[in-house]
C-alpha cells in the first residue's frame, strides 16, 4: 500500500506522525505493508535525515521510504497513494488534485499558521470528492484534557476523583474550528467512563453522564472554550507536534471505521 504525507514546511510533523501511523497500521492491519512517500518543501538534507531516522527505527511494516520535493512532479506519487495526509501546502496540492486516484482518501489536517487553519474550511477548492478534514479532533482532544483536569479532585467525598482524558467519551465539536467564535462544544451526550474512587457511582469501573457529576457550570458554559482556544491557538506549533499527529490519526481512524 502506498501512503503519502505532505509534510509541514516548519518543524517536520512527519517525525512524529509517521511512527504513530505505522504503529496504528501494524496493530489494525498487520498484513499491510506500507510504501511511504514524504512530500516536502524543506532542504533535501533535512528530508534525508528524516528518511534515515525512519529507516533506523526498523518498522516491520515499512517497506520503503521516499522523500519527494514538492517542487518536483508529485503526480505519480499522489496518484498511486491509497491515503494522502496533507499537513501543509493546500495551494500546491490543488495543482495536482486532478491527478488523484478517485479511490484515494485525502486526509486534511492543515496546521502551523492561521492561514493554514482557515484553509481546512475551504476543501471544496481541491476538486476531490474523497476528502476528510480532521482538525476538529485537535479540539476534541483539548476539550477532553481540559475537562479531565477540572473533574479530577474532591467532589462529594474526601477521596479524589481521578479522571484522564481517555475516559471522557462523546464530546461533540461543530463549526469552523480554529476561528475565534465560530465553533461550539456539545457535551449533551458526554460520559465519563471507568470511574475509580467515585462517590457518584458508589463503585469502581462505572460510566456516568457528565451532567450527573458535580462540576462548575460556569466552567462549562464560559471558560472551557476560552481555555481550549488558548491551548491550541496560542501554543507554538512546535510544542503541539505530537498532539496534532494523534488528532490527524484519530480522525483517520474514525473515518475508516464508519
Q: What is residue 138's predicted lDDT score, i.e. its pLDDT?
A: 96
Gap between the Cα atoms of 142 and 48, Å rounded: 33
∠ Cα 192 198 201 (to 5°): 75
* Residues with Cβ within 8 Å of residue 125, at least 6 apart in sequence: 90, 94
Asked whether residue 12 carries a pLDDT value surpassing 50, the answer given is yes
Q: What is residue 157's predicted lDDT score, i.e. its pLDDT?
A: 56
Average pLDDT over residues 123-137: 86
Global pTM reads 0.88
Average pLDDT over residues 95-123: 83
- Grid cell listed for 159: 477521596
Domain boundaries, the chain: 2-133, 137-224
Asked whether residue 72 carries a pLDDT value surpassing 90, the answer given is no
Helix, strand, coil shares of the chain as percentages rounded to 5? 45, 20, 35
Asked whether residue 3 carries a pLDDT value surpassing 70, the answer given is yes
Gap between the Cα atoms of 23 and 14, Å rounded: 14
Asked whether residue 116 carries a pLDDT value surpassing 80, the answer given is yes
Q: Which of 11-15, 71-75, 88-92, 133-137 has the lowest mean pLDDT?
A: 71-75
Q: What are the angstrom distances between the C-alpha of 99 and each of 41, 67, 71, 104, 219?
A: 20, 19, 16, 10, 48
β 62-69/34-40 pair status: parallel
CB-neighbour burial class of residue 116 (10 A; exposed 0-12, middle 13-18, buried 19+): buried
Percent over 70 (pLDDT), the chain: 90
* Model confidence pLDDT, tens digit, residues 148-158: 988 887 655 56
Gap between the Cα atoms of 237 and 241, Å rounded: 7
Q: Which residue has the higher pLDDT, 162 or 42?
A: 42
Q: What is residue 80's predicted lDDT score, i.e. its pLDDT?
A: 84
Asked whether residue 65 carries a pLDDT value surpassing 50, the answer given is yes
Could you give the angle at which helices 241-257 and 135-151 cross, rounded to 10 degrees?
110
* CA-CA-CA-CA dihedral for 54, 59, 61, 65, to nearest 10: 10
Gap between the Cα atoms of 135 and 56, Å rounded: 30
Q: Which residue has the higher pLDDT, 102 or 7?
A: 7
Gap between the Cα atoms of 153 and 131, Å rounded: 41
Q: What is residue 202's predicted lDDT score, i.e. its pLDDT?
A: 46
Average pLDDT over residues 67-90: 83
CB-neighbour burial class of residue 31 (10 A; exposed 0-12, middle 13-18, buried 19+): exposed
Running DSSP on this structure, what letter comes out for residue 157?
S
Fold of 2-133: Rossmann fold (3.40.50)
Q: What b/e readout covers 170-183, taking b as 16+ CB neighbours within 10 angstroms?
A: ebebeeebbeeeeb
Average pLDDT over residues 48-58: 92
Q: What is residue 211's predicted lDDT score, i.e. its pLDDT?
A: 83
* Model confidence pLDDT, tens digit, residues 191-230: 988 876 554 444 555 788 888 776 778 888 889 999 999 9
Average pLDDT over residues 76-105: 81
- Residue by residue, DSSP assigns 203-244 as SSSEEEEGGGS---HHIIIIIHHHHHHHHHHSS-GGGSHHHH
Amino acid at each position: 500500500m502506498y501512503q503519502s504525507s505532505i509534510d509541514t514546511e516548519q518543524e517536520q510533523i512527519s517525525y512524529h506522525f509517521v511512527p504513530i501511523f505505522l504503529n496504528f497500521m501494524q496493530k489494525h492491519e498487520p498484513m499491510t505493508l506500507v510504501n511511504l512517500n514524504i512530500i516536502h518543501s524543506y532542504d533535501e538534507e533535512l528530508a534525508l535525515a528524516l528518511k534515515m531516522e525512519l529507516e533506523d527505527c526498523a518498522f516491520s511494516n515499512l517497506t520503503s521510504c521516499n522523500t519527494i520535493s514538492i517542487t518536483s512532479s508529485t503526480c505519480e506519487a499522489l496518484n498511486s497513494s491509497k491515503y494522502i495526509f496533507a499537513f501543509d501546502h493546500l495551494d500546491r496540492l490543488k495543482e495536482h488534485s486532478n491527478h488523484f486516484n478517485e479511490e484515494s482518501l485525502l486526509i486534511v489536517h492543515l496546521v502551523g499558521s492561521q492561514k493554514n487553519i482557515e484553509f481546512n474550511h475551504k476543501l471544496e477548492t481541491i476538486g476531490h470528492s474523497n476528502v476528510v478534514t480532521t482538525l476538529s479532533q485537535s479540539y476534541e482532544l483539548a476539550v477532553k484534557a481540559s475537562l479531565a483536569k477540572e473533574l479530577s479532585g474532591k467532589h462529594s467525598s474526601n477521596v479524589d476523583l481521578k479522571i484522564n482524558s481517555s475516559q471522557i467519551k462523546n464530546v461533540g465539536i461543530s463549526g469552523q474550528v480554529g476561528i475565534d467564535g465560530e465553533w461550539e462544544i456539545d457535551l449533551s451526550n458526554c460520559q465519563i467512563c471507568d470511574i475509580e474512587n467515585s462517590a457518584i457511582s458508589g463503585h469502581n469501573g462505572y460510566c456516568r453522564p457528565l451532567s450527573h457529576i458535580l462540576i462548575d457550570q460556569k466552567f462549562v458554559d464560559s471558560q472551557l472554550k476560552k481555555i481550549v482556544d488558548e491551548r491550541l491557538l496560542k501554543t507554538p506549533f512546535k510544542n503541539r507536534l505530537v498532539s496534532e499527529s494523534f488528532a490527524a490519526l484519530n480522525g483517520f481512524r474514525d473515518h475508516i471505521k464508519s
